[in-house]
Amino acid sequence: MRGKQAIGAGALALALVSGAGWAAQATTSESATRQAAAATAPARAAAVDGYQIVRLPNADVPNFQRRTLYCPAGKQVIGGGAEARGNRAILVGSFPTDDGRGWIALGRQDGYSTVGISVYAICANP
């Protein structure tokens, strides 16, 4: 009996150590998942000095004509986007200005000579 109890105790110790390893692995995996989620969460507006979104409302312009939106004085663009509106409208380009102070968008609409374009810029203090 004594041999069986010693084996049983050894097996129990191994199971406890293995279980602790699994628990530590699960905790590490959960922690890593939470950290990854926090890293990919959108930054809060308050975290960026002078954060501001400016908009150039939708307007019909000739196909391929650029619409340019600038940040308020003293701010730089840190992102932006655009939308093409209309039947079979296509956004052809959406990119920052060369000087980094604004955002440009252009598009086209199949079968029409004009397209509706809206432009958005995310601005912040440099």
Phi, psi of 7 (to 5 degrees): -65, -45
Residue 54: name the closest of 120, 118, 125 by CA: 120
pLDDT at position 23, please?
A: 40
The yes-or-no verdict on residue 76 having pLDDT over 60 is: yes
Q: When comparing pLDDT for 44 and 119, which is higher?
A: 119
Q: When comparing pLDDT for 24 and 50, which is higher?
A: 50
pLDDT at position 47, please?
A: 84
Q: What is d(CA 106, CA 67) in angstroms, rounded to the nearest whole number?
A: 6
The yes-or-no verdict on residue 43 having pLDDT over 70 is: no
Q: When comparing pLDDT for 47 and 39, which is higher?
A: 47
Q: Return the structure tokens found at 120.
A: 């958005």
pTM listed for this prediction:
0.63
The yes-or-no verdict on residue 14 having pLDDT over 60 is: no
Residue 72: name the closest of 36, 106, 121, 117 by CA: 121
Is the separation of the CB atoms in 84 and 52 below 8 Å? Answer: no
Q: Mean pLDDT, to the nearest integer, of 61-78? A: 98
